[in-house]
Amino acid sequence: MTNNGFQHGSAAGMRIHVLPTKAFKTFAISLYAGVPLEEHTVTPTALIPFVLRRGTASYPETTQFREQLEELYGAGFGFDVYKRGDYQIVQFRMDTINDSFVQSKESLLGESFAFLGEVLTKPLLESGKFRTSYVATERETVRKKLEAIVNDKIRYAAERCIEEMCHSEPYRLHPLGQRADLDAITPDNLYESYQSWLDGAILDLYVVGDTTPEEVEKLVERHFGRAPSPVAAYSSKFKPAAVSEVRTVEERLDVNQGKLNMGLRTSITYKDDNYASALMYNGILGGYPHSKLFVNVREKESLAYYASSRYDGHKGIGTIQSGIETQNYGKAVDIIRKQLEELKAGNISDLELSQTQAMIRNLLSEIQDSAFELISFDFNRQLSGKDRSAMELLAQVEQTGAAEVKAAAETFQLDTIYFLTGQKEE
């Protein structure tokens, strides 16, 4: 079956998604491995790809690992760890030049699959466990990344607002895990975590380039060598959490500028037909420089250094981020709440609608120019179970008027106000 040009199949226990095209000079390869976000597995799962990129059975030293990428005409290799809804996703990416542009004895697509298959399924082991020095070094890498969040107060406030709002849900967890759990991770127990992660992960493999689904399926079976387990899918059993009252949380740290963050809950998620209305709502509220928060809180009232909003369509959560002088807290809360009320009342100008549609149109049109953007858009479909092309979404956005945005606004309920402020003066 096809959608957006992607052809979908399966091999070796993973879902395969191929977009045959001559539009790009490279092959874009993306492998997503998703598991439920869970307290006891989130930190080891985050650490696994850091250790896997250090060395494999054939390329045990990190220098050999990098040299092999050079052999593939400087192929790009990287990974990300993030969350989508209540899932923790590890994404591996490779970018390899198309064979027809170089003089290569072997198929570069085949060589890339051999490399990626080995990274995933044949890590370097010593005495049946991961190499001790690699685990020790990469544990510190993850620790530093988590510490960097604490040091970046804008990111810290955004994370803390989500933690407070979702205190009894998996979504409160950071995809890189928890610093407190790192010391207990050993080469032995990390290898055990890796095995259960690989067995339990939902695997989606994407290829965009001049190839066919048949070729990709053969390459997967040859190079991923996994027993063909039943192909798993994401479950989208979303239940919107009811908001009974707005919680206010104040935290004091050594900061010069206050960080005022708010969390909202909505019943609208990516798979809903009115998802376009929620996108428009977020755009008009705080997604862009013409948005209500930016214009009213930052420009007109000069209350904030920055003010914006985000919407996670896989979780049904909206967030507002702003940086303010601590003495302006009350005033800033009032004016932000006023913008939420304006949207619920349907006070939306034609200019706000058309500018927001134009911004979303640009974003959706740019997807067509990037193989990895095409992949990431289609992956939303795998996560949500909703079959909707970028062009279909764009058509829905173009048809969204003030009435539809007002209806979406009525579903967004303020849940949590989080304020990060300075230490009390002695």
In this model, does residue 227 exceed pLDDT 70? no
| Burial label, 121 (beta-carbon count in 10 A; 0-12, 13-18, 19+) | middle
**Mean per-residue pLDDT for 402-420?**
98
Taking the C-alpha atoms of residue 320 and residue 308, their distance in angstroms, rounded to an integer, is 6
Which is nearest to 385 in space by CA: 216, 269, 230? 269
* 8 A C-beta contact, residue 108 and residue 99: yes
Going by pLDDT thresholds of 50, 70 and 90, the confidence category of residue 156 is: very high
Q: What is the mean pLDDT of residues 148-156?
A: 94
CATH topology (fold) of 2-224: Cytochrome Bc1 Complex; Chain A, domain 1 (3.30.830)
Question: Looking at domain 247-421, which of 1.10.10.10, 3.40.50.2300, 3.60.21.10, 3.30.830.10 is its CATH number?
Answer: 3.30.830.10
pLDDT, tens digit, 9 for 90 and up, residues 62-84: 899 888 888 887 789 999 999 99
pLDDT at 123 over 90: yes
Alpha-helical segments (H) within 241-291: 275-282
User: Tokens 């989208």 map to which residue?
Assistant: 236
**pLDDT value for 228:** 58
- The DSSP symbol for 60 reads -
Alpha-carbon gap, residue 234 to 392, rounded angstroms: 23
Q: Is 183 strand, coil or helix?
A: coil
Instruction: Answer whether 2-224 and 247-421 agree in fold.
Output: yes
What's the mean pLDDT when you consider all of the chain? 93
pLDDT tens-digit map of 257-315: 999 999 999 999 999 999 999 999 999 999 999 999 999 988 888 888 999 999 999 99
pLDDT band of residue 105 (cuts 50, 70, 90) is low
The 8-class DSSP code of residue 230 comes to P
Q: If pLDDT is split at 50, 70 and 90, which confidence band does 233 have?
A: confident
* Prediction pTM value: 0.93
Domains of the chain, residue spans: 2-224, 247-421
Distances (CA, A) of 425 to 187, 248, 255, 418: 47, 22, 12, 21
